[in-house]
Amino acid sequence: MSRAKLLIDVGSTYFKVSTPSSIEQHFRDFNKDILDDLTHKCGETIHAYKKEDIYICSSANGGLSTLIIGITESFSLKYATNIAFNSGINIIDKVLYQNIQEYSVPSDLIDVVIVVGGIDSSCDIFGEPLFSYLKMLKYSNIVYVGSGKDASKIQEKIPNLVVLPNIIDHRLHIVEENLKEYLTNLYQLDIEGKEDIKNLYTITANQIYSTPYIVNQTLPFIGTKFSVVNPFILIDIGGATTDIHYSKDLVDDNIVTTNEYDRLVFKKLGVFKSKESLIFSAKNNEFVYELLTHLKVTENIFEQQSEKALQVLMQLALFLVLCKISHYKKAYINLKLLSINSIVLTGGITKVLADAQMEDIISFFYKKILNSNHNPSVVMDHNYDIWTLGLTNNKG
Amino acid sequence: MKVVIGVVGNDIHVVANRLIELSLGARGFEVFNLGVNTYLEEFFDAAVETNADVLLISSLNGEAEGWSREVKLLRSKYKTLDKLVMVIGGNLVVGTASAEEIVPKYKKYGFDLVFHQVDLNTGLDALEVYLGERKIS
């Protein structure tokens, strides 16, 4: 018989502690180190377990940022974007190399720059404009995943450049594994490198993973816990980010990859840390005022600090994220939302909204935006089963 | 020599496209087949990624005309495709029209070689002659 495990998820706003018999959720005290906060609130539970039986995942740092430089929209930029999203990386900007001189240089420090372009038999793709642009850019890591023929020439010019095999094969198909592994490891190192997270190793002997990675790993087994009918989307609305995991069947794109589920991160659609940008997005959506009327509130609710205001923000986040992946908004990806059979909701939203409130928003979205009476079943992960399933099944 | 091929727009004539791939391969070309239902942007982007010499678009249901009107404008947005040879072939009109009418129209759209209802090998022979002449000049 396997020993009981203690599972801990450190989010940007809450942390959750799960034992075989209960699950606790606590609002984080941002004046305290995570470990201090955790032991202060759940010390007794934590000390009842051995380090080997404690498993932790975290999304507290919101993920890494990347800027991608590629030579075409349909291949290099598209493939690198797909891989970055699936590795839990937030894309700050995409630069089309032929116009690189026209792009403004982001002032923020970029965690990783991805340079990509050309099949292996192409050469002399990148030159001085790339090197000049990179001199102006502040970044921590840079990786080259373009034409193999150009790799050594580029490596001579760019210090600390990591060269990986091309993500575009000879048939112009995507090759995900190497870049995905590199980015996932970088994300992992970033999580482990955070002082707050490092301290957590005093209570666990197991590797600390990123929460989105754990959730994504769970999806093939979701049917063991929930009545979910494929194709489905899973929406995780939290304090800082909103993540969507979706079946590949919902995308028209002809990218052939090995994983069944992809993931999108909306970094600015959380209800606590990114509340202001959520409200900004809401005010720019022409249907939001109609939605507020439907919810029988006015925009003054944005100024309020109450349970009702939080509920409205959660409902807005859900509505906006559906808009962003629908054909109403031309985004990175548009999902075939009329084909989905289930919408699974997890994360903080399940603690704030009742089932009926979520169903109401989903039905409003389908009627107003997609002009349809389509009614996918809504599955609520009230007890964070998806996360616990992922953490207990993860083989590392 | 590298050639990007595919069928443009809402056209799923996959067999003809495969025959073009095989014939070009037999003639020593390095072929990048984008398949059917391909957008113009994808053709040009593939030419950039592969550093192709020739872009050969085929169309069998005649809808190429609608798409081809965009060719010149779209190509002008690319800074590295000046030397790309543009070829189109197949059945290039809905209904009937003679090659005399069709060919000048497509050349105006930006194609160097236009084959309307021309046998595949005859077309590819002409392509090879054209490429030879360009190389000499």
Residue A168: list chain B partners with CB under 8 A. 49
A123 token code pair: 């050469």
Residue A123: list chain B partners with CB under 8 A. 51
Residue A16: CA atoms inside 13 Å, Cβ hemisphere, count?
25
What is the pLDDT, as a whole number, of residue B5? 96
**Coil/strand/helix, residue B110:** coil
Nearest CA in chain B to A121: B50
Asked if A171's CB is within 8 angstroms of B45's CB, the reply is no
Instruction: Determine the average pLDDT of the residues in A47-53.
Output: 92
Residue A121: list chain B partners with CB under 8 A. 30, 50-51
Round to whole Å and give the CA distance between B132 and B28. 14
Instruction: Determine the average pLDDT of the residues in A248-272.
Output: 64
Contact of A256 with chain B, judged by CB distance below 8 Å, is answered with: no
Helix H, strand E, coil C: the string for chain A is CCCCCEEEEECCCEEEEECCCCEEEEECCCCCCHHHHHHHHHHHHHHCCCHHHEEEEECCCCCCEEEEEECCHHHHHHHHHHHHHHCCCEEEEEEEHHHHHHCCCCCCCEEEEEECCCCCCCCCCCCHHHHHHHHHCCEEEEEECCCHHHHHHHHHHCCCEEECCCCECCCCCECCHHHHHHHHHHHHHHHHHCHHHHHHCCCCCCCCEEHHHHHHHHHHHHHHCCCCCCCEEEEEECCCCEEEEEEHHHCCCCCCCCCCEEEEEECCCCCCCCHHHHHHHHHCCCCHHHHHHHCCCCHHHHHCCCHHHHHHHHHHHHHHHHHHHCCCCCCCCCCCCCCCCEEEEECCHHHHCCHHHHHHHHHHHHHHCCCCCCCCEEEECCCCHHHHHHHHHCCC
Instruction: Determine the average pLDDT of the residues in A275-303.
Output: 85
Interface probe for B, chosen from A69, A71, A72 (most Cβ of B below 10 Å), is A72
Q: How far is CA A107 from the centre of its chain?
A: 23
Q: Closest Cα of chain B to A124: distance in Å?
A: 10
Identify which has the larger pLDDT, B106 or A60: B106
What is the pLDDT, as a whole number, of residue B34? 95
> Which of these ranges, A8-12, A95-99, A136-140, A209-213, has the smallest mean pLDDT?
A209-213
Asked if A123's CB is within 8 angstroms of B32's CB, the reply is no
Round to whole Å and give the CA distance between A123 and A152. 11
- Find all residues with CB under 8 Å of A1, minimum gap 6, and list them: none
Residue of A259, A387, A236, A369 whose CA lies nearest to A314? A236
Asked if B51's CB is within 8 angstroms of A75's CB, the reply is no
What is the pLDDT, as a whole number, of residue A256? 54
Instruction: Determine the average pLDDT of the residues in A202-209.
Output: 88
Residue B45: list chain A partners with CB under 8 A. 72-75
Q: What ipTM did this prediction achieve? A: 0.92
Q: So where are chain A's domains? A: 1-61+194-225+383-396, 65-181, 227-380
Round to whole Å and give the CA distance between A333 and A251. 8
Round to whole Å and give the CA distance between A123 and B26. 25
A146 token code pair: 């373009």
What is the pLDDT, as a whole number, of residue A1? 47
Asked if B34's CB is within 8 angstroms of A122's CB, the reply is no
Q: What is the dihedral of CA B29, B33, B36, B42, to 10 degrees?
A: -110
Nearest CB among B39, B41, B49 relative to A71 is that of B49
Strand A6-10, strand A14-18: pairing:
antiparallel
Instruction: Determine the average pLDDT of the residues in A258-278.
Output: 66
Q: Is the pLDDT of residue A263 over 80?
A: no
Q: Closest Cα of chain B to A89: distance in Å?
A: 24
Round to whole Å and give the CA distance between B125 and B27. 10
Round to whole Å and give the CA distance between A13 and A272. 7
Tens of pLDDT, residue by residue over A324-378, are 888 776 665 678 888 889 999 988 788 888 989 999 999 999 999 889 988 899 9
Interface probe for A, chosen from B48, B77, B83 (most Cβ of A below 10 Å), is B48
Nearest CB among A98, A121, A122 relative to B79 is that of A98
What is the pLDDT, as a whole number, of residue A394? 63
Q: Give the rounded percent of residues in chain A with a pLDDT score beyond 90.
A: 38
Range of the structural domain that residue B100 is part of: 2-136
Q: Is the pLDDT of residue A205 over 50?
A: yes
A327-349 burial: b if 16+ Cβ within 10 Å, else e: ebeeeebbbbbeebebbbbbbbb
Interface probe for A, chosen from B45, B49, B75, B80 (most Cβ of A below 10 Å), is B49
Tens of pLDDT, residue by residue over A303-337, are 888 889 889 988 988 898 888 888 776 665 678 88
Which residues from B are below 8 Å from A when comparing CB atoms? 30, 32-34, 39, 41-42, 44-46, 48-51, 78-80
Q: Is the pLDDT of residue B11 over 90?
A: no
Q: What is the dihedral of CA A248, A249, A254, A258, to 10 degrees?
A: 40
B11 token code pair: 């056209």
Residue A71: CA atoms inside 13 Å, Cβ hemisphere, count?
30
Q: Closest Cα of chain B to A330: distance in Å?
A: 17
What is the pLDDT, as a whole number, of residue A189? 81
Asked if A98's CB is within 8 angstroms of B46's CB, the reply is no
Place of tokens 């080259």: A144
Tens of pLDDT, residue by residue over A112-151, are 999 999 999 999 999 999 999 999 999 999 999 999 999 9
Tens of pLDDT, residue by residue over A53-105, are 999 888 766 668 899 999 999 999 999 988 887 777 778 889 999 999 999 89
Nearest CB among A76, A98, A123 relative to B80 is that of A98
Contact of A118 with chain B, judged by CB distance below 8 Å, is answered with: yes
CATH number at residue B34: 3.40.50.280
CATH superfamily of A1-61+194-225+383-396: ATPase, nucleotide binding domain (3.30.420.40)
Residue of B41, B99, B38, B88 whose CA lies nearest to B65? B88
Instruction: Determine the average pLDDT of the residues in B24-46.
Output: 95
Q: Give the rounded percent of residues in chain A with a pLDDT score beyond 70.
A: 90
Q: Is the pLDDT of residue B61 over 80?
A: no
Q: A65-181 and A227-380: same fold?
A: no
What is the pLDDT, as a whole number, of residue A277? 75
Identify which has the larger pLDDT, A279 or A174: A174
- Find all residues with CB under 8 Å of B79, minimum gap 6, and list them: A98
Tens of pLDDT, residue by residue over B109-133, are 999 999 999 999 999 999 999 999 9
The count of domains in chain B is 1
Q: Specify the DSSP element, H or E, that contains B26.
A: helix B14-26
End-to-end alpha-carbon separation of chain B, Å?
17
**Mean pLDDT rounded to a whole number for chain A:** 85
Asked if B32's CB is within 8 angstroms of A73's CB, the reply is no
Q: Closest Cα of chain A to B77: distance in Å?
A: 10
Contact of A168 with chain B, judged by CB distance below 8 Å, is answered with: yes
The set of catalytic residues of B is 11, 13
B52-82 burial: b if 16+ Cβ within 10 Å, else e: bbbbbbbbbebbbbebbeebeebbeebeebe
What is the pLDDT, as a whole number, of residue A258? 56
What is the pLDDT, as a whole number, of residue B137? 42
- CATH number among 1.10.8, 3.10.450, 3.30.420, 1.25.40, domain A227-380: 3.30.420
Confidence of residue A252 (pLDDT cuts 50, 70, 90): low
Contact of A121 with chain B, judged by CB distance below 8 Å, is answered with: yes
Contact of A72 with chain B, judged by CB distance below 8 Å, is answered with: yes
Q: Closest Cα of chain B to A150: distance in Å?
A: 13
What is the pLDDT, as a whole number, of residue A272? 65
What is the pLDDT, as a whole number, of residue B136? 46
Whether omega before A231 lies within 30 degrees of 0, making that bond cis, reads yes
Residue of A337, A297, A339 whose CA lies nearest to A316? A297
Residue B41: list chain A partners with CB under 8 A. 73-74
- CATH number among 1.10.3470, 3.40.1440, 3.30.1380, 3.40.50, domain A65-181: 3.40.50
Helix H, strand E, coil C: the string for B73-98 is HHHCCCCCCCCCEEEEEECCCCCCCC
Q: Closest Cα of chain A to B48: distance in Å?
A: 7
